[in-house]
Structure 1
Amino acid sequence: MNKKPIIGITMGDAAGVGPEIIVKSLQHKEVYKHAHPIVIGDAKRLKRAAKLLQVDSQITRITDKDSFHTTTSTEIKCLDLDIISADLPFGEVSAEAGNGSFQFLKTAIDLANEHKIDAICTAPLNKEALHKAGHIYPGHTEILAELTGTKDFSMMLSSPKLKVIHVTTHVGLLDAIRMINPERVYHVIRLAHQTLTRAGITNPRIAVCGINPHAGENGLFGYGEEEEKVVPGVMKAQEEGIDVQGPLPADTLFFRAVRGDFDMVVAMYHDQGHGPIKVLGLEAGVNITVGLPIIRTSVDHGTAFDIAGTGIADEQSLLEAIRQAIELAPKK
């Protein structure tokens, strides 16, 4: 019988919408039915968020790392690092909040490495605040990679109906095509397979997009990129027993995946993978870093300083990130 996973939710930048969307998300009783959520952050900030939201939640400050099991859906447990001032203003860049976001994440990584929590779900941080605090990273992903000693990782976007992993991401299209090669394709297929297997899918079905229209259609489109760059990587994965098909025409592949034919799609470049996920709804998309030794999911938005402290921030992206963390957490 599977036990409910313990999901560590990091507060992110305390001056942003993180505290509010965490409190809002943990008003949903379904979270407690499937997991033990533990907030890693600052209890005072959560209490302030609960007050401005006018919700009657018990914010329990804990310091014992062995007390992570929640008992009721009205209790929010917080592993309180107590490093945020009570009067820290919302909506302003500060080194204090930047350092807090780093320390919250570092603590979560340590807990995951110690097997005290089963997955990490991150509220947004602010890069400028992070840099002001002397932590020079582009964002969560690079911190996670460095602190876990991970050199090769990939971006996965996940929604209730579709999961997409990328061979290339934030590069121009011409650069992306140059960067695609059989070894990278093979490696991303393996990352997809490992991620889904860890989540409890025994024999995940993976499909790989082509680069050209109709996946080249036997040389009719393009200059043989599929045969040169994609096919050898797919064949190598197949030889290892991975259930993978491709390259397949992207225009119909995503429809088939949403229909349920595949568990994961391997996209060749940014817009090929991001477009279908965004069409399904911005609030449903979750950013997941794969290749790490731990599961990490994240909201698909920033700190929203313009509305922080007003109580109007929408919690749906964080709620979906929590759901995905539960789904992907290693099954015991």
Structure 2
Amino acid sequence: MKKKPVIGITMGDFNGIGPEVIAKSLLDNKIISQSIPVIIGNELVFKDIFNKLNIKKNINLLLPPIYKNILENSINIYSIIKLKNKDIKRGFSTEKGDIAAFQSLKEAITLCLKGEIDAIVTGPLSKSSLNRRGHFFQGQTEFIAKESGCEKYLMLMVSKQMKVGLVTTHHPLSDIPSLISEKLIVEKCEILYNSLRDDFNISNPLIGVCALNPHAGDNKLFGDEEEKIIKPAVKFLQKKGINIEGPFSSDSLFFKYRTSKFSAFLAMYHDQGLIPFKLISFNKGVNYSAGLPLVRTSPDHGVGYDIATKMIADETSMKEAIKLAIKIVKRRSH
């Protein structure tokens, strides 16, 4: 029998909705039958969540090295963080919640690089809270890339309806024109093309590239980045044999997604790509870190402090993140 992929799931900020959506996701028989999930975080947090959700599952506590005592069809928890009941303050950002989220992420990366888990699915955490407490933290994608020694990677949003890659990610909008370059667009597009082919099994993917300016600059009337930067990048990639078209005005490009011939879109900045993606795929989409030496996915939502005490969080995006990680691990193993 072929070994099931071991999927490490970080709990994120335990005061948010991460533990809740993880617990609900592990009730999905498809996930349990096709993988061995391992929660990386704290057992007390999940015992409390299971109790609140009336989930009755066997918990298997793991000790290092975890591969020696992982059990199938059980809730495997690698409890690396010491907490007391009083530390759990759902709905509030706390230092212990932030530190625990960071530690579980760091441990998951270590386990994946050592080969003890096959993929990482990251629970949501608060970037602003971590930075406020003195940890420079641009994002989980960027941190994983740094820890794994990877300089070239791509934030790729994935759903059944569309795939959107981003040239730039978490930057002020005012900085975007100076950050975009022909070299960067080529780099991101090559990662996107390779991921579509290798991770998503699309034999000859076609990529649609967004313009930066309104109406694609309208012959330099509203900016010249299309003529000076984006078009030369597209032409260079076409000469290399990559199937790519653009730049197109993003309002019309995304509007045609239902009948689009494109396998994926490449947006110039965060909200240009994320607004249409979430409008169509919110709570169903997945953030996939393409180009990394390891497989990492995450749900497309944040920490959700405002509903963390209500037990009403929608787990669909977390389930899709786990399922996508399973699929990519299996494809890469062939």
Same fold, judged at TM 0.5 (above): yes
Which SS does the other structure have where 2:104 is aligned?
helix
Task: Tell me the amino acid that sits aligned with residue 246 of structure 1.
Answer: G
Which SS does the other structure have where 1:120 is aligned?
strand
CA displacement, residues 29-81 of structure 1 (integer Å, 9 cap, x when unaligned): 12224332211111222111101111112221122421586533xx2111221
Structure 1 equivalent of residue 155 of structure 2: 155
Structure 1 equivalent of residue 96 of structure 2: 96
- In structure 2, relative to structure 1, the CA distance for the partners of 1:2 and 1:256 (3 Å cut) is farther
8 Å contact kept, 1:99–1:133: no
CA displacement, residues 147-182 of structure 1 (integer Å, 9 cap, x when unaligned): 223344443222221111112344455642343221
**Residue 248 in structure 1 maps to residue 248 in structure 2:** yes
- In structure 2, relative to structure 1, the CA distance for the partners of 1:203 and 1:5 (3 Å cut) is farther
Which SS does the other structure have where 1:66 is aligned?
helix
Structure 2 equivalent of residue 84 of structure 1: 83
Task: Tell me the amino acid that sits aligned with residue 145 of structure 1.
Answer: A
Structure 1 equivalent of residue 238 of structure 2: 238
| Equivalent-residue separation in structure 2 for 1:138 and 1:249 (angstroms) | 28
CA displacement, residues 110-140 of structure 1 (integer Å, 9 cap, x when unaligned): 1111222222111112346645876442442
- In structure 2, relative to structure 1, the CA distance for the partners of 1:261 and 1:121 (3 Å cut) is same
Structure 2 equivalent of residue 304 of structure 1: 304
5+ residue gaps, structure 1, are: none
| Equivalent-residue separation in structure 2 for 1:132 and 1:83 (angstroms) | 23
- In structure 2, relative to structure 1, the CA distance for the partners of 1:264 and 1:327 (3 Å cut) is farther
5+ residue gaps, structure 2, are: none
Which SS does the other structure have where 1:278 is aligned?
helix
Report the Cα offset of residue 272 of structure 1.
2.4
**Residue 116 in structure 1 maps to residue 116 in structure 2:** yes
- In structure 2, relative to structure 1, the CA distance for the partners of 1:128 and 1:161 (3 Å cut) is closer
Structure 2 equivalent of residue 8 of structure 1: 8
- Once structures 1 and 2 are overlaid, which stretch shifts more, 55-64 or 235-244? 235-244
Which SS does the other structure have where 2:302 is aligned?
coil
| Equivalent-residue separation in structure 1 for 2:102 and 2:214 (angstroms) | 43
- Once structures 1 and 2 are overlaid, which stretch shifts more, 16-25 or 289-298? 289-298
Which SS does the other structure have where 2:87 is aligned?
coil
Which SS does the other structure have where 1:108 is aligned?
helix
Name the TM-score, length of structure 1 as normaliser.
Answer: 0.86
Sequence identity, in percent?
Answer: 36
Which SS does the other structure have where 1:280 is aligned?
helix
**Residue 206 in structure 1 maps to residue 207 in structure 2:** yes
8 Å contact kept, 1:257–1:264: no
- In structure 2, relative to structure 1, the CA distance for the partners of 1:185 and 1:13 (3 Å cut) is same
Name the TM-score, length of structure 2 as normaliser.
Answer: 0.85
8 Å contact kept, 1:111–1:117: yes
8 Å contact kept, 1:96–1:133: no
Report the Cα offset of residue 256 of structure 1.
4.7
Q: Cα RMSD over matched residues?
A: 2.9
8 Å contact kept, 1:101–1:130: no
Which SS does the other structure have where 1:46 is aligned?
helix
| Equivalent-residue separation in structure 2 for 1:114 and 1:258 (angstroms) | 41
Structure 1 equivalent of residue 318 of structure 2: 318
Structure 1 equivalent of residue 31 of structure 2: 31
Which SS does the other structure have where 1:266 is aligned?
strand
Map 1:66-77 to 2 at 5 A: 66-67=67-68, 71-72=72-73, 75-77=74-76
8 Å contact kept, 2:62–2:70: no
Which SS does the other structure have where 2:66 is aligned?
coil
| Equivalent-residue separation in structure 2 for 1:230 and 1:132 (angstroms) | 36
Task: Tell me the amino acid that sits aligned with residue 297 of structure 1.
Answer: T
Which SS does the other structure have where 2:332 is aligned?
coil
Structure 1 equivalent of residue 284 of structure 2: 284
Structure 1 equivalent of residue 48 of structure 2: 48
Report the Cα offset of residue 293 of structure 1.
2.3
Task: Tell me the amino acid that sits aligned with residue 76 of structure 1.
Answer: I
- Once structures 1 and 2 are overlaid, which stretch shifts more, 193-202 or 109-118? 193-202
8 Å contact kept, 1:231–1:246: yes
Structure 2 equivalent of residue 265 of structure 1: 265
| Equivalent-residue separation in structure 2 for 1:227 and 1:136 (angstroms) | 36
How many residue pairs match? The answer is 329
